[in-house]
Structure 1
Amino acid sequence: MRAKIYYLTTLLIAAAFAVVYFFKMDDSNNKIVCQSRHTLLHDGFRLDSNFGFIFANDKGELTVHAIAAENGVQSQVARVINFTYVKNNDVYILKNQYVEYLSTDNSKSSNVDFHFPAFFYEAGKELALKIEYDKYNNPVIYLHNMPMFYCKKYNHV
């Protein structure tokens, strides 16, 4: 009888670990962490940017660090955009919850925001993205059916 209790207890513990492991693995596949560089050139305006994306559990964060240059004047972009999202297959609808401007961001006096969708600087604005994967399983983020961000660093957290 005592042996049956030990076997049953061992079986229950193993089953509990298997369930936790299964759900933890399943949850981690829904997380995307990546970084991408992007350079925008438009009529004498140049924006060299680093973007950091985190998508997990219907919310995320986009960190933007950039240097903008126009007519010999430089400005810095340093902000964190917190958002929620709804996912439908490979399309993500992001909704800006709030923007945190970091202390080094002095872009308000420049034309930087003119070159960004309103999602990048205004709470409540939405942005539709499509995320597909390349042959190496790295995310490629599309904006308006154009590949905008190729993730050079990718992790399932």
Structure 2
Amino acid sequence: MTFCGTRSSILHMIFNVSSESSGEGNNDSFEREVELIMEAFDSRLKEALEHQHPEWRAMVEKVRTATGILKEYEGHADYNVLGPIEYADWCFYPEPDHTISNLAIYADLMPARTDHDQKTQEQLIRQTEVALHPLQFSTIVRGNILTILIPLADNKF
């Protein structure tokens, strides 16, 4: 299975988050997770999980709102200026055993070419985090990849 463009960045994010949480990067487990994670971004699967777990509805709405802030700047470009976000989405982040313990917001950030670009991206990340308040979450920015993990168990509405 091959992936190109932005979706391949998702795979790098998955590998980085998996490596960070386990302390090592295991290529075998990474390959098994790839298909599961790619499916997690499918809108039909997200909708099905929302219906199966109405107790997550309030958290999902906050995550949608926060992701919407990033999506407003997704792919904005003209001939002279690239937008700060190449791609943004959210998912129910599946564990290797197929359980769901986190919601995740993912964004592929464009490389900042100027200080203004960097400040704009930092401001968007802060706005996204504010939109998630009062949820507990962790923000990981590695290279040009933003991942925000929102643990379902730690956030009861």
* Bigger relative contact order, structure 1 or 2 (CA pairs below 8 A, ≥6 apart): 2
Instruction: Give the TM-score normalised by structure 2.
Output: 0.26
Larger Rg: 1
| Structure with the bigger percentage of helix | 2
Instruction: Give the TM-score normalised by structure 1.
Output: 0.26
| Structure with the bigger percentage of strand | 1
